[in-house]
Amino acid sequence: MAVRILIVDDDELSREVLALLADDAGYEVDTADSGDAALTCVRQLRPEVVLTDIQMPGIAGDELAQQLRSLCGAGTLLLAMSGSELGDGVGREFDGFLLKPFTMETLTAAIDGGLIRVEDRPAATDGVVLDEGVYTKLAGSMRDSQLEELYALCRKDAEARVERMRRAASIGDDAAYRKEAHALKGGCGMVGAVELQRLATSMEERGLRDDDVATLEEFVVASERLRRILVARKSN
């Protein structure tokens, strides 16, 4: 009987990619877009595994883990995930932590082993636009039209977040700027858009500086480079 897993992420792109890959790996998958939605799902579905982003608006992090545990009991595996390393003491209420992006093999190892911590360390990606391994796995899990829609969603999401980062930069809102960069990093990483992921990581770490606009323009150029690569793949 398939293991039932609830995937919780406020980022639509990350949530959709994870759900697709988990379903292809043989899991019975449900999704939620917030901590509150996750609590509702858990009351109704009783999943064996909850995989949740640890940085979301509203109830999240260890507070969410505590409430999930009170509903699920000790028999449910609670896994946290994030595009960034956790700070000291953060995530202590979870059974394990996965660093985005991670493979389904890593998730399976976490579920099978009841891990303390598992993470994938990506190889150096300087000069790489698209992770071939991630692209191949996604292409093998969906129709061509679905794959095209997925990457279109990635670029649309990136465009919206870049615009919000521009607005944040215009009013000097460093926290909002970093928040959008963090979401960009996670979403781009899940679809193998490694150049965009690398730039988003840099923007999150640096925050607002004198060259923030130039960095955003570099991201826009990189997004167009990804689009051209995907178009070329489609025509081959």
Query: Which of 33-37, 109-113, 162-166 is predicted least confidently?
Result: 109-113
Residue ranges and CATH numbers for the domains of the chain are: 4-119 (3.40.50.2300), 132-235 (1.20.120)
User: Strand 4-8 and strand 49-53: pairing?
Assistant: parallel
Q: How far is CA 43 from the centre of its chain?
A: 24
Per-residue model confidence as pLDDT tens digits over 20-35: 889 988 999 999 999 9
Q: Read off the tokens for 105.
A: 């093999």
Q: Read off the tokens for 143.
A: 């129709």
Q: How many residues does the chain have?
A: 236
Per-residue model confidence as pLDDT tens digits over 66-105: 999 999 888 889 999 988 888 777 888 998 889 888 888 8
| Res. 116 pLDDT band, cuts 50 70 90 | very low
> What's the distance, Cα to Cα, between the start and end of the chain in Å?
40
Cα–Cα distance, 38 to 72 (Å, whole number) = 12
Q: Is the pTM of this model over 0.95?
A: no
Q: Considering the chain, what is the average pLDDT of its residues?
A: 86
Cα–Cα distance, 122 to 185 (Å, whole number) = 13
